């Protein structure tokens, strides 16, 4: 006489249940990562860490899950991994499928190059060669050593070269005015605003170019890494490092104030505005979206691929930190990363045209 109780699952059925559950949970987890980065971002330590991780790390579960689902019936569960792949490639890794636009006949064109020169890690001749080869009209450089502009200027014929602290601008057109911000305060301490505004008499009318480099997160991450990330995790110190997390939060707060200061000043400009530099803000950054969201990102509009600009030397690049942004007075035609090694950052060059909304 058969037993009327519930049938116990076999080992194969239990394994199938686990695989399907993981397959559903994986895209759900990726969606949570996206929401954490964009909705919370630098306001929470964990989501700050997620922002600066190599984005490919989030794809590690994908191959084993696809392989496991190939042996699970029905195979329609593979659709969960197709969704995961789309979330991974586009919102998380920042893949762009666009590309350059056709220039508008008769429009005023300009080319802008931005490069973090990493305290002169390339020679002056290497840097000058990269600038001349790019044929840029305006060059914005960040993290420059104090003597670099004086050594660089003789190798850039036809450019006006100016230095302000860590910033250098090289322009083929006259620089008529420079704004140096007073700075910001956080927790009672003064900090630089880490940007400079250059007013340039460009063909077609005056433009304001902002050269920016807000606070880097490197120091705060180094404090969390301590004696090595693996040791910090195994020892448990990573999870109780209050000083490290406090430094991470303070660093993000300073960076936000610096970017807000720039955005507020740019909003008052009577002229067309371009913003360029090492933003230290990865794709999906809450600070980027909520402070500079009114400006258009050239790579987002006309870039192709991932466009990662950092790190350029020690490992495959995994973050897009260097950007060219513009207000509605410009139209992006092309944006690309220059694969030249002048520092730890790849330079970015943008081709734009004037839309004549402002004089």
Give the neighbor-by-neighbor strand order of the sheet with 138-142: 160-164, 167-171, 138-142, 109-116, 348-354, 330-337
DSSP string, 153-200: GGGSTT-EEEEETTEEEEESS-EEEEE----EEETTEEE---EEEEEE
Helix H or strand E encompassing 30: helix 11-35
| Cα separation, 244 vs 233, whole angstroms | 14
pLDDT the model gives residue 233 = 62
pLDDT band at 74 (very low <50, low <70, confident <90, very high): confident
Place of tokens 């060219």: 324
Nearest C-alpha neighbor of 221 from the set 21, 45, 86, 19: 45
3-state helix, strand, coil in the chain (%, to 5): 40, 25, 35
User: pTM to 2 decimals?
Assistant: 0.92
Mean pLDDT for the chain? 92
| Cα separation, 23 vs 25, whole angstroms | 6
Q: Which residue has the higher pLDDT, 350 or 218?
A: 350
pLDDT the model gives residue 53 = 92
| Cα separation, 303 vs 326, whole angstroms | 14
| Cα separation, 89 vs 93, whole angstroms | 5
pLDDT the model gives residue 228 = 66
Beta strands at 189-191 and 205-212: parallel, antiparallel or unpaired: unpaired
Averaged pLDDT for residues 214-220: 91
Helix H or strand E encompassing 60: none
User: For residue 234, is pLDDT > 70?
Assistant: no
C-beta of residue 151 within 8 angstroms of C-beta of residue 132: no
pLDDT band at 75 (very low <50, low <70, confident <90, very high): confident
Q: Say how many residues make up the chain.
A: 359
Identify the three-state secondary structure at position 226.
coil
Averaged pLDDT for residues 196-217: 97
Cα 71 vs. chain centroid, distance in angstroms? 39
User: For residue 322, is pLDDT > 90?
Assistant: yes
DSSP 308: -
DSSP string, 82-106: HHHHHHIIIIIT--EE--PPPPPTT
Identify the three-state secondary structure at position 2.
coil
Kindly list the structural domains of the chain, giving each domain's residue range(s) and its CATH number in brackets, ordered by start. 11-93 (no CATH), 109-354 (3.60.10.10)
C-beta of residue 155 within 8 angstroms of C-beta of residue 125: yes
Least confident span in 69-73, 95-99, 186-190, 284-288: 69-73
């Amino acid at each position: 006489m058969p037993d009327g109780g519930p049938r116990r699952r076999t080992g194969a059925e239990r394994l199938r249940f686990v695989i399907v559950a993981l397959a559903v949970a994986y895209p759900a987890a990726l969606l949570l990562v996206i929401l954490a980065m964009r909705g919370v971002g630098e306001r929470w330590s964990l989501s700050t860490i997620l922002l600066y991780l190599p984005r490919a790390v989030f794809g590690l579960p994908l191959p084993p899950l696809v392989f496991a689902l190939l042996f699970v019936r029905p195979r329609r569960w593979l659709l969960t991994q197709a969704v995961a792949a789309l979330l991974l490639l586009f919102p998380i890794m920042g893949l762009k499928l666009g590309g350059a636009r056709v220039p508008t006949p008769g429009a005023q064109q300009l080319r802008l190059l931005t490069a973090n020169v990493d305290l002169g890690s390339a020679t002056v001749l290497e840097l000058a060669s990269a600038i001349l080869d790019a044929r840029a009209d305006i060059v914005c450089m960040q993290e420059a050593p104090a003597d670099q502009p004086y050594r660089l200027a003789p190798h850039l014929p036809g450019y006006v070269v100016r230095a302000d602290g860590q910033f250098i601008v090289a322009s083929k057109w006259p620089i008529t005015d420079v704004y140096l911000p007073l700075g910001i305060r956080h927790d009672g301490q003064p900090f630089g605003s880490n940007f400079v505004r250059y007013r340039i008499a460009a063909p077609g009318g005056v433009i304001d170019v902002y050269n920016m480099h807000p606070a880097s997160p490197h120091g705060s991450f180094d404090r969390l890494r301590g004696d090595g990330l693996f040791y910090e995790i195994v020892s448990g110190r990573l999870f109780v490092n209050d000083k490290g997390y406090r430094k991470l939060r303070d660093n993000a707060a300073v960076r936000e104030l610096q970017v807000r200061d720039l955005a507020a000043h740019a909003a008052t400009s009577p002229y067309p505005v371009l913003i360029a530099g090492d933003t230290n803000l990865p794709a999906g950054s809450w600070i980027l979206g909520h402070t500079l969201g009114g400006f258009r990102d050239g790579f987002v509009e006309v870039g192709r691929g991932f466009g990662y600009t950092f790190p350029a030397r020690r490992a495959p690049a995994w973050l897009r930190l260097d950007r060219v942004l513009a207000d509605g007075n410009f139209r992006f035609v092309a944006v690309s990363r220059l694969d030249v090694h002048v520092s730890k950052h790849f330079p970015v060059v943008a081709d734009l045209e004037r839309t004549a909304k402002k004089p």
